[in-house]
Structure 1
């Protein structure tokens, strides 16, 4: 059972990047072609947990060791057209903040997607019940 809350209909102010947006608003922007969605989770996360159709896969950190992806800047520049905006998605909305700050440093209008793909862990340490892209009923697939 998901938690009840009112979806944000506009970006919230954030430090170091354009803003935080709700999964629902990100879904609207993606469907309307208003922004590029970049999934910054690892390849394994996308493969095993699920992915958003139409999202650009570009890890912020790489497994194992979770070192910063040396190809992130180049990949982001290739994914987002000049003057375009990007929405960054990770597991719970933490790595995507760092990626949004880096995108901003590169001159890209960047937004962090709150809650990420899976949301926060619950009392049992399980994800998928406390927010996130999947729980909000937005489009996703699993291999």
Structure 2
């Protein structure tokens, strides 16, 4: 069994354990491995344009805001933009700052025909440390995965 197949199996088991309404949940390292080794994988970063510009982005990720800064109002065009940029047959890995907005995006996508929707746990910046700072406890950046400044 390939590493990608094992990752997807673990992700589906997490979904069952957590009662998720979408295919599964992956760690940042698992998401990176899937994106590098499996055809038809798309990372969709649902953070705001301000976050992409000032915090950084994953190279090659599709950028579709879930909420718009500064009001943090829902993007009414999210689903249309997703359908325009991402094939519903792809394995879609949703990413946000900490895993909350990406969870919501995965739910919506799964309800609209994206049968392989996954949330990237921990997000781009991860959980806060005891000093209330992100990027050190977990998440994409703390795992040392590729990213570029926006």
Residue 28 of structure 1 is matched in structure 2 by 33
The DSSP-based 3-state class of the residue aligned with 1:138 is: coil
The DSSP-based 3-state class of the residue aligned with 1:26 is: helix
In structure 1, C-alpha distance between the alignment counterparts of 2:54 and 2:30, rounded to whole Å: 25
In structure 1, C-alpha distance between the alignment counterparts of 2:144 and 2:110, rounded to whole Å: 29
- Of 132, 135, 139 in structure 1, the residue corresponding to residue 142 of structure 2 is 135
Gaps of 5+ in 2: 1-5
The DSSP-based 3-state class of the residue aligned with 1:27 is: helix
Give 1:30 deviation, angstroms: 1.2
In structure 1, C-alpha distance between the alignment counterparts of 2:77 and 2:109, rounded to whole Å: 13
What RMSD, in angstroms, separates the aligned Cα atoms of the two structures? Answer: 1.4
Q: Which runs of 4+ in 1 moved over 4 A?
A: none
Gaps of 5+ in 1: 1-7
- Of 65, 69, 73 in structure 2, the residue corresponding to residue 67 of structure 1 is 73
Deviation track 1:94-124 (CA, whole Å, cap 9, x = no partner) reads: 1100010001111102100000000001111
In structure 2, C-alpha distance between the alignment counterparts of 1:70 and 1:51, rounded to whole Å: 22
Deviation track 1:9-29 (CA, whole Å, cap 9, x = no partner) reads: 431214111111011110011
- Of 67, 84, 91 in structure 2, the residue corresponding to residue 85 of structure 1 is 91
The DSSP-based 3-state class of the residue aligned with 2:132 is: coil
Q: Which has the higher helix share?
A: 2
Aligned residue runs from structure 1 range 1-143, under 5 A: 9=7, 10-11=10-11, 12-13=14-15, 14-32=19-37, 33-108=39-114, 109-143=116-150
The DSSP-based 3-state class of the residue aligned with 2:118 is: strand
Residue 5 of structure 1 is matched in structure 2 by none
In structure 1, C-alpha distance between the alignment counterparts of 2:144 and 2:85, rounded to whole Å: 25
